[in-house]
Amino acid sequence: MCGRYSLAGPNPSEVRERFALGPEIEVRRRWNVAPQDDVVAVTTTREGVPRGDVLRWGLVPFWAKDPAVGDKTINARAETVAEKPAYRDAFRSRRCLVIADGFYEWKPAARPKARKQPFHITRDDSAPFAFAGLWSTWHGPDAAVLRTCTIVTTTANDAIADIHPRMPVILPPEAEAAWLDPGTPEPVLHELLAPYPAGRTAFRAVGFAVGDARHDAPDCLEPPADEERTDAAADQGTLFG
Protein backbone atom coordinates (compact mmCIF):
# COMPACT_ATOMS: atom_id res chain seq x y z
CA MET A 1 0.00 0.00 0.00
CA CYS A 2 0.97 3.63 -0.22
CA GLY A 3 0.25 5.36 3.08
CA ARG A 4 2.68 8.30 2.99
CA TYR A 5 4.34 10.33 0.30
CA SER A 6 6.26 13.55 -0.29
CA LEU A 7 6.15 16.65 -2.47
CA ALA A 8 9.24 18.22 -0.99
CA GLY A 9 11.21 19.61 -3.92
CA PRO A 10 12.82 22.98 -3.24
CA ASN A 11 11.06 24.69 -6.14
CA PRO A 12 7.22 24.47 -5.96
CA SER A 13 7.00 26.59 -9.12
CA GLU A 14 8.54 23.65 -11.01
CA VAL A 15 5.56 21.51 -9.96
CA ARG A 16 3.09 24.24 -10.90
CA GLU A 17 4.63 24.58 -14.36
CA ARG A 18 5.07 20.85 -14.94
CA PHE A 19 1.39 20.12 -14.32
CA ALA A 20 -0.14 23.46 -15.41
CA LEU A 21 -1.87 23.81 -12.05
CA GLY A 22 -2.89 27.45 -12.29
CA PRO A 23 -2.34 30.28 -9.79
CA GLU A 24 -5.33 29.38 -7.64
CA ILE A 25 -3.77 26.08 -6.52
CA GLU A 26 -1.40 26.43 -3.56
CA VAL A 27 1.72 24.31 -3.93
CA ARG A 28 3.85 24.06 -0.80
CA ARG A 29 6.58 21.72 0.27
CA ARG A 30 5.31 18.57 2.00
CA TRP A 31 7.64 16.01 3.53
CA ASN A 32 5.02 13.68 4.96
CA VAL A 33 1.65 13.68 3.22
CA ALA A 34 -0.74 11.42 5.14
CA PRO A 35 -4.26 10.03 4.63
CA GLN A 36 -7.02 12.61 5.12
CA ASP A 37 -4.66 15.44 4.14
CA ASP A 38 -5.57 17.79 1.31
CA VAL A 39 -3.40 16.94 -1.71
CA VAL A 40 -2.48 18.62 -4.98
CA ALA A 41 -4.02 16.89 -7.98
CA VAL A 42 -5.12 17.25 -11.58
CA THR A 43 -8.72 16.34 -12.39
CA THR A 44 -10.84 17.14 -15.47
CA THR A 45 -13.90 19.26 -16.14
CA ARG A 46 -17.09 17.71 -17.45
CA GLU A 47 -15.75 18.47 -20.91
CA GLY A 48 -12.60 16.48 -20.16
CA VAL A 49 -10.27 19.47 -19.85
CA PRO A 50 -7.46 19.00 -17.26
CA ARG A 51 -7.52 21.37 -14.28
CA GLY A 52 -5.48 21.82 -11.13
CA ASP A 53 -7.35 20.70 -8.03
CA VAL A 54 -7.09 20.05 -4.30
CA LEU A 55 -8.62 16.81 -2.99
CA ARG A 56 -8.72 15.03 0.35
CA TRP A 57 -6.81 11.73 0.39
CA GLY A 58 -9.22 8.89 1.13
CA LEU A 59 -11.95 8.36 -1.45
CA VAL A 60 -15.57 8.76 -0.33
CA PRO A 61 -17.91 7.33 -3.03
CA PHE A 62 -20.85 9.53 -3.96
CA TRP A 63 -23.24 6.92 -2.54
CA ALA A 64 -21.55 6.58 0.88
CA LYS A 65 -23.67 7.29 3.94
CA ASP A 66 -20.71 8.26 6.11
CA PRO A 67 -17.55 10.06 4.93
CA ALA A 68 -15.55 8.02 7.47
CA VAL A 69 -15.32 5.34 4.77
CA GLY A 70 -12.46 7.45 3.38
CA ASP A 71 -10.21 6.16 6.16
CA LYS A 72 -10.22 2.74 4.45
CA THR A 73 -10.00 3.82 0.81
CA ILE A 74 -6.66 5.57 0.48
CA ASN A 75 -5.52 2.94 -2.05
CA ALA A 76 -7.29 1.04 -4.84
CA ARG A 77 -5.74 -2.16 -6.16
CA ALA A 78 -5.13 -2.11 -9.92
CA GLU A 79 -6.25 -5.72 -10.21
CA THR A 80 -9.78 -5.01 -8.90
CA VAL A 81 -10.27 -1.27 -9.43
CA ALA A 82 -12.80 -1.81 -12.23
CA GLU A 83 -14.91 -4.14 -10.07
CA LYS A 84 -14.92 -2.86 -6.49
CA PRO A 85 -18.06 -0.78 -5.77
CA ALA A 86 -16.03 1.96 -4.05
CA TYR A 87 -13.89 2.57 -7.15
CA ARG A 88 -15.53 1.29 -10.34
CA ASP A 89 -17.56 4.41 -11.10
CA ALA A 90 -14.57 6.69 -10.57
CA PHE A 91 -12.38 4.37 -12.65
CA ARG A 92 -14.74 4.78 -15.58
CA SER A 93 -15.19 8.53 -15.49
CA ARG A 94 -13.24 10.36 -12.75
CA ARG A 95 -9.54 9.61 -12.99
CA CYS A 96 -6.93 12.03 -11.70
CA LEU A 97 -3.24 12.66 -11.20
CA VAL A 98 -1.99 12.91 -7.63
CA ILE A 99 1.23 14.95 -7.63
CA ALA A 100 4.28 13.73 -5.67
CA ASP A 101 8.05 13.39 -5.82
CA GLY A 102 8.47 10.30 -3.65
CA PHE A 103 6.68 7.84 -1.40
CA TYR A 104 7.49 5.88 1.75
CA GLU A 105 7.38 2.17 2.51
CA TRP A 106 8.47 0.25 5.62
CA LYS A 107 10.66 -2.86 5.43
CA PRO A 108 10.48 -5.38 8.25
CA ALA A 109 13.74 -5.77 10.17
CA ALA A 110 15.58 -9.08 10.19
CA ARG A 111 15.56 -9.26 13.99
CA PRO A 112 12.31 -10.21 15.76
CA LYS A 113 10.38 -7.28 17.29
CA ALA A 114 12.77 -4.71 15.78
CA ARG A 115 11.20 -1.62 14.25
CA LYS A 116 10.45 -1.57 10.55
CA GLN A 117 12.86 0.55 8.52
CA PRO A 118 11.24 3.37 6.49
CA PHE A 119 12.49 4.01 2.96
CA HIS A 120 11.91 6.98 0.68
CA ILE A 121 11.36 5.87 -2.91
CA THR A 122 11.66 8.17 -5.93
CA ARG A 123 12.36 8.31 -9.62
CA ASP A 124 16.07 7.99 -10.35
CA ASP A 125 16.16 11.67 -11.39
CA SER A 126 14.17 12.83 -8.30
CA ALA A 127 11.74 14.69 -10.60
CA PRO A 128 8.11 15.25 -9.59
CA PHE A 129 5.63 12.75 -11.00
CA ALA A 130 1.97 11.73 -10.96
CA PHE A 131 0.39 8.78 -9.21
CA ALA A 132 -2.59 7.28 -11.02
CA GLY A 133 -5.56 8.37 -8.93
CA LEU A 134 -9.36 8.33 -8.83
CA TRP A 135 -11.58 11.04 -7.42
CA SER A 136 -15.16 11.53 -6.31
CA THR A 137 -17.52 14.21 -5.01
CA TRP A 138 -19.67 13.41 -1.97
CA HIS A 139 -22.69 15.50 -0.97
CA GLY A 140 -23.60 15.33 2.69
CA PRO A 141 -26.18 16.93 4.95
CA ASP A 142 -26.44 20.72 5.20
CA ALA A 143 -25.09 21.07 1.65
CA ALA A 144 -21.67 19.74 2.68
CA VAL A 145 -19.46 18.84 -0.27
CA LEU A 146 -16.35 16.67 0.03
CA ARG A 147 -13.97 16.06 -2.89
CA THR A 148 -11.71 13.10 -2.31
CA CYS A 149 -9.25 10.79 -4.05
CA THR A 150 -7.47 7.45 -3.85
CA ILE A 151 -4.11 6.27 -5.23
CA VAL A 152 -4.01 3.14 -7.39
CA THR A 153 -1.43 0.50 -6.41
CA THR A 154 0.12 -2.40 -8.27
CA THR A 155 2.76 -5.10 -7.79
CA ALA A 156 6.13 -3.70 -6.73
CA ASN A 157 8.94 -3.66 -9.29
CA ASP A 158 12.11 -5.69 -8.77
CA ALA A 159 13.97 -2.72 -7.28
CA ILE A 160 11.76 -2.41 -4.20
CA ALA A 161 9.94 -5.75 -3.94
CA ASP A 162 12.20 -6.66 -1.03
CA ILE A 163 10.96 -3.58 0.84
CA HIS A 164 7.24 -4.01 0.15
CA PRO A 165 5.26 -6.24 -2.26
CA ARG A 166 3.21 -3.37 -3.68
CA MET A 167 3.80 0.15 -4.92
CA PRO A 168 1.68 3.08 -6.14
CA VAL A 169 1.27 3.39 -9.90
CA ILE A 170 3.65 6.12 -11.09
CA LEU A 171 2.56 7.24 -14.54
CA PRO A 172 5.25 8.12 -17.07
CA PRO A 173 4.64 11.66 -18.39
CA GLU A 174 3.55 10.39 -21.79
CA ALA A 175 0.76 8.33 -20.15
CA GLU A 176 -0.77 11.13 -18.07
CA ALA A 177 -3.04 12.49 -20.80
CA ALA A 178 -4.43 9.04 -21.61
CA TRP A 179 -5.15 8.37 -17.92
CA LEU A 180 -7.10 11.62 -17.65
CA ASP A 181 -8.90 11.31 -20.99
CA PRO A 182 -12.51 10.15 -20.41
CA GLY A 183 -12.45 8.49 -23.83
CA THR A 184 -9.52 6.15 -23.18
CA PRO A 185 -10.68 2.51 -23.62
CA GLU A 186 -10.66 0.38 -20.48
CA PRO A 187 -8.09 -2.14 -21.80
CA VAL A 188 -5.66 0.74 -22.35
CA LEU A 189 -6.28 2.04 -18.83
CA HIS A 190 -5.37 -1.34 -17.40
CA GLU A 191 -2.15 -1.35 -19.42
CA LEU A 192 -1.20 1.95 -17.81
CA LEU A 193 -1.50 0.46 -14.31
CA ALA A 194 1.92 -1.16 -14.46
CA PRO A 195 4.87 -1.02 -12.03
CA TYR A 196 7.28 1.83 -12.63
CA PRO A 197 10.46 0.53 -14.33
CA ALA A 198 12.93 -0.87 -11.81
CA GLY A 199 15.86 0.68 -13.65
CA ARG A 200 14.44 4.16 -13.09
CA THR A 201 13.68 3.69 -9.39
CA ALA A 202 15.81 4.99 -6.51
CA PHE A 203 15.40 4.43 -2.77
CA ARG A 204 17.18 5.13 0.50
CA ALA A 205 16.61 4.52 4.18
CA VAL A 206 15.32 7.42 6.30
CA GLY A 207 14.80 7.96 10.01
CA PHE A 208 11.74 7.18 12.10
CA ALA A 209 10.38 10.76 12.07
CA VAL A 210 8.15 9.96 9.10
CA GLY A 211 6.29 7.40 11.19
CA ASP A 212 4.30 10.17 12.89
CA ALA A 213 1.53 11.16 10.48
CA ARG A 214 1.24 14.53 12.23
CA HIS A 215 4.89 15.36 11.65
CA ASP A 216 5.62 17.14 8.37
CA ALA A 217 9.15 18.55 8.36
CA PRO A 218 12.48 18.17 6.52
CA ASP A 219 13.82 15.64 9.01
CA CYS A 220 11.42 13.06 7.50
CA LEU A 221 13.95 12.75 4.68
CA GLU A 222 17.08 12.64 6.82
CA PRO A 223 19.11 9.41 6.97
CA PRO A 224 18.48 7.24 10.03
CA ALA A 225 20.49 8.11 13.11
CA ASP A 226 22.77 5.40 14.44
CA GLU A 227 20.23 4.39 17.07
CA GLU A 228 17.50 4.18 14.40
CA ARG A 229 19.45 2.14 11.89
CA THR A 230 18.18 -1.41 11.37
CA ASP A 231 19.65 -4.24 9.31
CA ALA A 232 17.44 -3.09 6.43
CA ALA A 233 18.92 0.40 6.45
CA ALA A 234 22.01 -0.81 4.65
CA ASP A 235 19.90 -1.43 1.54
CA GLN A 236 19.64 1.49 -0.82
CA GLY A 237 19.96 1.89 -4.55
CA THR A 238 19.56 4.08 -7.56
CA LEU A 239 19.75 1.92 -10.67
CA PHE A 240 18.57 -1.62 -11.24
CA GLY A 241 18.45 -3.83 -14.31
Catalytic residue at 96? no
Q: Is the dihedral of CA 131, 156, 1, 228 positive or negative?
A: negative
Task: Judge whether 136 and 95 are in contact, CB under 8 Å.
Answer: no
pLDDT at 96: 98
Reported confidence tier of residue 240, pLDDT bands at 50, 70, 90: very low
Q: Return the sign of the alpha-carbon dihedral for residues 226, 231, 234, 236.
A: negative
% residues pLDDT > 90 (the chain): 87
196-209 pLDDT, tens per residue? 999 999 999 999 99
Q: Which amino acid is at 33?
A: V
Pairing of strands 145-155, 50-57: parallel
On average, the pLDDT of the chain sits at 94
Asked if 2 is an active-site residue, the reply is: yes
Cβ(101)–Cβ(10) below 8 Å: no
Q: Which of these, 205, 59, 185, lies nearest to 131 by C-alpha position?
A: 59
Write the pLDDT tens digit of every residue in 178-189: 999 999 999 999
Q: From the candidates 2, 96, 149, 220, which is the catalytic residue?
A: 2
Mean pLDDT of 126-153: 95
Q: Which among 96, 105, 149, 220 is annotated as catalytic?
A: 105
- Asked if residue 92 lies in contact with residue 130, where contact means CB atoms within 8 angstroms, the answer is no
